[in-house]
């Protein structure tokens, strides 16, 4: 009447990457027919599996005819002998093979997936993402993303952080009134969360050190290579800091952990994309916003002093400067003017027009924003009053601060933006499996 669950494996599958270790033995490989090459007296079938490519060689009219009948992208199982051949991918191929189809014959893909480069435009790739992403060059950024998130979490786990899962639907559009998506929540108005900011701060009161890796939503009306309406935010927040410097020190560890994990777990993807992983200096160079403006005024022929933010061109210049002067692809710019930071930002002691906040520039672009937050209830009330805002919509958020919160701070890193920079992609959509933006809601 009852049986027990076992790992049922009627065939022992050998992955393509394992073939060199099985030379001389009978093997079964399974994968997508990546490329079929029919010559006069031989048919080569190259299978693609998650580990790489495996070539099988069919000779003789009957075997050749069977092999020739499968369109590319059909899922096949091939059994034969693993045989050394220096010309084959990985130095080994499957000889005397028999083949069976595990899927129906595949329809032609939107473009050739076997070509070394990608013969398709970005819209074609995005329209056909489930198939297009099978191309090794288009898949690779997502292997790098996965390794990056793993590195983010592992580093923070080691530092005593706790992972949290917070609501993506909120009652009021607090952090910024604009750019929110409205939802019908059982007949009541609600909004998609633009960040876990308020929740992660509240959870500092519970776990002291928390992180979340999850989706955030911005109703960005901009149709650019950098904007997404949903992206993956890597958020961290920690209590009992002296100021933003300790947050920056944690971020430095996180970047080192992410980079190392990418190198270790996504080395092949990096090689495929010619990714050069950045060195993360023991101490990332750091420059105050005011000093950055002095530097720009002295060297660029422009005078940005008085501006409350850095122009993209100035971010690029400062990145170049950090590389030249400090040999670093990363640069912390600290102390951004309060006018341009959210109301919960902690001002700089002694220079309250500046803040205890930072941006991290990486290869010319802002990658991370963070800083110390206010932690006293009365400071929040004063900050909101100074901006002419009522505390009422923030009541739930502010409650935690009435009951004792330590000095704390944190940061948020956009995963897709990180992967885009790392791979040198021309569009953040290449680092997003199924992008959502102003014009795109499918697939």
194: left (phi over 0), alpha (psi -120 to 50) or beta: alpha
> Scanning residues 319 to 378, which ones bind its own copies (CB under 8 A)?
325-326, 332, 375-378
Name the phi and psi angles at 235, rounded to 5.
-110, 140
CB 35 within 8 A of CB 114: yes
- Cβ count near 386 (within 10 Å): 10
Which residues in the 6-65 window bind its own copies by CB under 8 A?
A: 6-10, 13, 30, 32-33, 49-50
Cα atoms found within 13 Å of the Cα of residue 23, Cβ hemisphere only: 11
Is 175 assigned to a binding site?
yes
| Smallest distance, its own copies to C-beta of residue 218, A | 12
Shortest gap between Cβ of 309 and its own copies (angstroms)? 20
220 annotated as ligand-binding: yes
Quick check: 145 and 364 in contact, CB under 8 A? no
What residues numbered 228-247 form the site for its own copies, per CB under 8 A? 229-230, 232, 240, 242-243, 245-246
In the window 253-282, what residues touch its own copies (CB under 8 A)? none
Mapped onto helix, strand or coil, the DSSP state of residue 23 is coil
Considering only residues 87 through 126, tell me which ones interact with its own copies, judged by CB under 8 A.
102-104, 106-107, 109
404 annotated among ligand-binding-site residues: no
User: In whole angstroms, how close is the CB of 103 to its own copies at the nearest point?
Assistant: 5
Are the C-beta atoms of 36 and 54 separated by less than 8 Å?
no
Q: Which of residues 126-185 bind its own copies (CB under 8 A)?
A: 128-131, 133-134, 139, 142-143, 145-146, 149-150, 153, 157, 160, 162-171, 181-185
299: Cβ contacts below 8 Å, ≥ 6 apart: 317, 321
d(CA 140, CA 274): 11
Closer CB to its own copies, residue 345 or residue 356? 356
Cβ neighbours of 433 (radius 10 Å): 14
* Residues in 389-418 that interact with its own copies by CB under 8 A: 396-397, 399-400, 402-407, 415
Residue list for the binding site: 175, 218-220, 226-228, 366, 369, 373, 414-417
Residue list for the binding site for ATP: 218-220, 226-228, 366, 414-417
């Amino acid at each position: 009447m009852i049986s027990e669950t076992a790992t049922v494996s009627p065939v022992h599958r050998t992955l393509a990457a394992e073939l060199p270790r099985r030379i001389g033995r009978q093997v079964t490989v399974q994968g997508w027919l990546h490329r079929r090459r029919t010559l006069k007296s031989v048919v080569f079938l190259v299978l693609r599996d998650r580990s790489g490519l495996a070539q099988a060689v069919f000779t003789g009219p009957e075997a050749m005819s069977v092999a020739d009948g499968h369109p590319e992208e059909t899922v096949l199982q091939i059994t034969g002998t693993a045989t050394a051949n220096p010309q084959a991918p990985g130095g080994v191929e499957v000889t005397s093979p028999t083949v069976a189809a595990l899927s129906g014959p595949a329809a032609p893909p939107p473009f050739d997936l076997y070509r070394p480069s990608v013969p398709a435009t970005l819209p074609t790739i995005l329209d056909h993402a489930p198939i297009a992403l099978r191309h090794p060059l288009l898949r690779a950024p997502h292997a790098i993303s996965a390794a990056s998130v793993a590195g983010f979490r592992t580093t923070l786990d080691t530092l005593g952080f706790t992972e949290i899962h917070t609501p993506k639907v909120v009652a009021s559009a607090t952090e910024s009134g604009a750019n929110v998506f409205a939802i019908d929540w059982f007949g009541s108005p609600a909004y998609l969360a633009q960040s876990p900011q308020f929740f992660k701060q509240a959870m500092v009161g519970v776990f002291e050190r928390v992180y979340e890796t999850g989706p955030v939503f911005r109703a960005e009306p901009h149709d650019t290579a950098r904007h997404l309406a949903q992206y993956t935010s890597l958020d961290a927040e920690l209590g009992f800091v002296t100021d933003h410097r300790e947050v920056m020190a944690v971020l430095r560890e996180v970047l080192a952990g992410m980079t190392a994990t990418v190198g270790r777990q996504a080395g092949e993807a990096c090689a495929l994309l010619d990714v050069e992983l950045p060195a993360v200096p023991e101490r990332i160079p750091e420059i105050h916003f005011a000093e950055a403006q002095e530097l720009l005024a002295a060297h660029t022929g422009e005078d940005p002093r008085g501006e409350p933010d850095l122009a993209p061109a100035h971010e690029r210049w400062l990145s170049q400067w950090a590389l030249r002067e400090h040999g670093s692809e990363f640069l912390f710019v600290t102390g951004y003017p309060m006018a341009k930071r959210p109301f919960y930002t902690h001002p700089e002691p002694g220079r309250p027009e500046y803040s205890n906040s930072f941006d991290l520039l990486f290869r010319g672009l802002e990658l991370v924003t963070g800083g110390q937050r206010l932690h006293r209830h009365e400071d929040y009330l004063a900050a909101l009053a100074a901006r002419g805002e009522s505390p009422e919509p923030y009541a739930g958020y502010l409650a935690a601060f009435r009951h004792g919160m330590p000095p704390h701070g944190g940061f948020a890193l956009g995963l897709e933006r990180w992967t885009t920079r790392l791979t040198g992609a021309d569009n953040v959509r290449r680092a997003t499996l199924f992008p959502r933006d102003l014009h795109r809601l499918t697939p």
